[in-house]
Chains A and B, each alone.
Chain A
Amino acid sequence: GAVVSQHPSWVICKSGTSVKIECRSLDFQATTMFWYRQFPKQSLMLMATSNEGSKATYEQGVEKDKFLINHASLTLSTLTVTSAHPEDSSFYICSASPPGSGEKLFFGSGTQLSVL
């Protein structure tokens, strides 16, 4: 299956700092990538859709100034959590759908963010 790589796997940071998470499609080009967030024992919630070469589309209730998304190439999307606070601590996962894969989304391994 298609490979989506996400880095870092986990990060611990102080409150007020910014954290960047990278998502790469390793064996296909992705014009669109998706960023999800999962709190403990809850569902995966779509945060935003990352579009190559254009602005990301954010879901209702997600602060675009706090969660900056950049999709500068067909294989890389980044999510930057700006001025992180403890309530931003969560598991962030990116996903993409290779051309021809239809309805299937392939997910990265996720990033566990802990803000102290």
Chain B
Amino acid sequence: DQQVKQNSPSLSVQEGRISILNCDYTNSMFDYFLWYKKYPAEGPTFLISISSIKDKNEDGRFTVFLNKSAKHLSLHIVPSQPGDSAVYFCAARIYTGTASKLTFGTGTRLQVTL
């Protein structure tokens, strides 16, 4: 049961344009959503997060939008840069009271072209 889904395995965007990466989830108990960037053979790097009680969070070129009714979130990168080319993972956190667990999506490979 894939509770966090990224339906687009890949995305190609021209430098300077906006990149929009999407993520859907099914578990209404998730309280935080996070985006990570990952290069091959490296661990994921935290990018930005959003609480389930908010609908937008912005940090520089990165903005995350949360639509709780649709159980959907998106990461916007603007303007996109060649260095943004990587695999982006959406993750959702559930806190059980004693433990905090992240569930990851399958990732979207972003390629920013010149």
Contacts and interface: CB of A to CB of B under 8 A. Distances in A.
A103 B99 contact: no
Nearest to B99: A49
A106 interface: yes
Chain B binding site: helix, strand, loop or mixed by DSSP? strand
Chain A binding site: helix, strand, loop or mixed by DSSP? strand
A82 interface: no
B62 interface: no
A75 interface: no
B34 A93 contact: no
B101 interface: yes
Interface residues of A, number: 29
Interface in A59-113: 91, 93, 95, 97, 102-110, 112
Interface in B51-96: 51, 89, 93
Interface of B: 4, 31-32, 34, 36, 41-46, 49, 51, 89, 93, 99-107
Query: Across chains A and B, which 6 residue pairs bring their CB atoms closest together, nearest first?
Result: A107-B43, A103-B32, A44-B104, A43-B106, A43-B104, A110-B43
